[in-house]
Amino acid sequence: MKKLLKILGIIVGVVVLLVIIGVLTINFKGIPFYDTQEIKLKVETDSASVANGEKLVGLTCIGCHANENNVLEGGIMEDLDPAFGKAWAPNITSHPEKGIGKYTDGELAFLLRTGIKNNGQYSPPWMPKFPNMADDEIEDIIAFLRSDHPSLKASETVQPAPEPTFLTKMLCNVAFKPFPMPDKRIEKPAASDKVALGEYLANDVSHCYGCHSADFKTNDDYTPTNSIGLYGGGNKLVDLDGNIVPSSNITMDKNTGIGNWTEEEFIQAVRIGKRPDGSPVPYPMPKYGLYTDQEVSAIFAYLKTVPIIENDVKKMTEN
């Protein structure tokens, strides 16, 4: 019996030692680096592509990267869940050293698709990736970033390095991996296919599922429909006072979701931030005024196809 206990003690000791070694390795390694890939791309710009790129940047980037003067020189991400640490959105102005002027068009496309910077480091989970965005729209974003728009005027501001928690480091080393570059061009769904367009806008452009599903840690950015609790809400967000608040259930459940909302009410909530009862949609939900009524209508049509989840997120704030 003593011999058995001794053997068990040795096994437990070895396991504990391996865990400690693993924890220390991940903690000191930090955010991992990967091989980069040369992407031969030279984006052709015209007024239409720059205009659409400006819209897309407004929908996906400005919330984190714009300062109080609407210059895209970055700033602290105040609504980041403390579980992930502290982070500052970087300078993405045209500055040749401090901004993205040092990136080629191919490197920008590679970053937006895979999450890998031009130095090989992986972008942590708070940086959105666009593995399924249409190629034309990726190129439109780059076209805008190359434009002479005032928000992109070269700024020498350098934001602090992120301060990821061990959880973030572990997720980046174990769970979250760079996405592959597509092996063929991705096309945007036609406006006539309303549900497909709505899914594209909600999942592949605005990443609405990211907040409105169960948890950032279990979201699947490559196949959003695999995210746990898809659109059922409950993910922990941070309000203007630093309080943790759960995201809303926006499935069509009539008791805990938006199953009783009309399309027009949904459009009002998304575009101008007004709920059906007239009250404002609270922070951190942004207003998506850059979307047209038709685009938000398409998102609503898509949400009608999402499996209904009964999840009363209000109870989470009562516990």
Phi–psi pair at 165, nearest 5 degrees? -80, 170
Mean pLDDT, rounded, for 109-127: 94
Quote the pLDDT of residue 69: 92
Mean pLDDT, rounded, for 10-27: 64
Quote the pLDDT of residue 217: 87
Quote the pLDDT of residue 29: 78
What pTM, to 2 d.p., does this model score?
0.90
Q: Is the pLDDT of residue 61 over 80?
A: yes
The CATH architecture assigned to 47-175 reads: Orthogonal Bundle (1.10)
Quote the pLDDT of residue 80: 84
Residue 309 vs residue 20, higher pLDDT = 309
Quote the pLDDT of residue 243: 86
Mean pLDDT, rounded, for 142-157: 97
Q: Is the pLDDT of residue 319 over 60?
A: no
Q: Is the pLDDT of residue 232 over 90?
A: yes
- Cβ neighbour number for residue 37 with a 10 Å cutoff: 14
Mean pLDDT, rounded, for 48-62: 96
The sign of the CA dihedral 195, 200, 201, 206 is: positive
Region of residue 191 (phi > 0: left; psi between -120 and 50: alpha; otherwise: beta): alpha
* Average pLDDT taken over every residue of the chain: 92
Residue 9 vs residue 275, higher pLDDT = 275
Q: Is the pLDDT of residue 314 over 70?
A: yes
Mean pLDDT, rounded, for 198-210: 97
Quote the pLDDT of residue 23: 63
- The domain spans of the chain are 47-175, 194-318
Q: Which two tokens stand for residue 107?
A: 């490197």
Give the rounded percent of residues in the chain with a pLDDT score beyond 90.
78
Quote the pLDDT of residue 151: 97
Quote the pLDDT of residue 240: 79
